[in-house]
Amino acid sequence: MRKKKFKLQRPKSTKKTTTDVPSTSAPPPPWTELPRDVTANILHRLGPIELLESAQEVCTTWKDVCLEPAMWRVIDMKNLGYHDMYDLQIMCRDAVDRSQGQLIEINIEHFGTDDLIRYISERYIFAICIFWFFKRHV
């Protein structure tokens, strides 16, 4: 006579398996649904340092808006204490390049150099105003 094999019955788990989870993804964040001009208006209120360092990293919509030349027509990079944390010269050149010839006004107060002024003027002769204040040490 053959012995019956005893099969151990495991209790059913209450956890959902991956097959039980609905396949719908989470809805996109509400700011991705905003019209492009509204998003640009909101982001334009940030300074160039914030746009270059953080806003463009939030999502692809914000990155696309941050890359638009219209966002870079007026660049106010007056040094407000960021000089130790960032290379403002490199960031300014990046911002000027992003304007793609649409630059109207730029402020490089407290960190502007002759080389930076030359860089801007060689690329954008249509700039209406260049505010430049370079404090010389006496």
Tokens for 76? Answer: 């106010």
SS3 85: coil
97 pLDDT more than 90? yes
Give the Cα-Cα-Cα angle 63, 66, 68 (nearest 5 degrees).
115
Range of the domain at 75: 34-131
Count up the domains in the chain and report the number.
Answer: 1
Residue 137 covered by a domain: no
**Mean per-residue pLDDT over the chain, rounded:** 75
Closest CA to 66 of 92, 90, 99, 25: 99
Tokens 């490089």 appear where?
Answer: 108
Cα separation, 39 vs 34, in Å, equals 6
Q: Does a structural domain hold residue 26?
A: no
pLDDT attached to residue 68:
92
Q: What is the pLDDT of residues 62-82, one digit of tens each?
A: 899 889 999 999 998 876 665
